[in-house]
Amino acid sequence: MRSGRFKKIKRNNMQAADLDITSLLDIITILLAFLLRNYNPSDLEVNLVKNIDPPTSVSERIGSSSVVVMVTSDKLVYVDGKEIGKLDNMQVEQGLMSPLLASLTEIKEKYDNARNIASVSPPSQASITENAQPKEMRKVNILLDKSLPYNVLRLVMHTAATAGYPEFKLIVKGINQ
């Protein structure tokens, strides 16, 4: 008898709860506007040096941010925009370009040291490598002038792989660019 009385009281006190989602919608709208404004389909930005005319392609895929090796029509070799020498003057031993190997190895060591420091340090000091991802540091973007022979590409790729960059992206000029 008692349980019937409590059920009746409970049933009378139950009301639909109102939920105000206005503030939630405001937050979602602001978040959406922020994400759309900061969206970048490609974080790759290559500053071309003079005397380089990359081949054209219909490819729509966009590269990712990593080390960029450029070789111009004058056979000047650049790593991340910094000239490291002329291809004709470089020592080539066992299919490796010595200055390119040294430069790529130095960049790899700097990244590895910064990553080790970031993993040991508190998270607030981890900003050294906040944009670098381990997978991206295995890649190298190669940008060659279209007049260069294939042997130069093979030499650059072999040297990069030996320096610790086993993955390659060939940078080309799009048809509409």
Comparison of pLDDT for 21 and 46, the residue scoring more: 21
Counting residues of the chain whose pLDDT is more than 70, the rounded percentage is 66
CA angle 37, 38, 40 (to 5 degrees): 115
The 10s digit of each residue's pLDDT in 65-103 is 788 899 988 889 999 889 998 888 887 888 888 899 999
Using DSSP's 3-state secondary structure scheme, residue 122 falls into coil
Number of domains observed in the structure of the chain: 1
Residue 21 domain-assigned (yes or no)? no
Residue 111 domain-assigned (yes or no)? yes
Q: How confident is the model at residue 46 (pLDDT cuts 50, 70, 90)?
A: low
Residue 166 domain-assigned (yes or no)? yes
Q: What is the mean pLDDT of residues 35-45?
A: 71
The 10s digit of each residue's pLDDT in 112-137 is 887 777 666 555 444 444 444 455 57
Domain that holds residue 131: 56-174
Q: How many CB atoms lie within 10 A of CB 124?
A: 6
Q: How far apart are CA 172 and CA 175, in angstroms?
A: 9
Residue 101 domain-assigned (yes or no)? yes
What pLDDT does residue 154 have?
Answer: 92
Residue 50 domain-assigned (yes or no)? no
Residue 35 domain-assigned (yes or no)? no
The 10s digit of each residue's pLDDT in 150-166 is 999 999 999 999 998 98
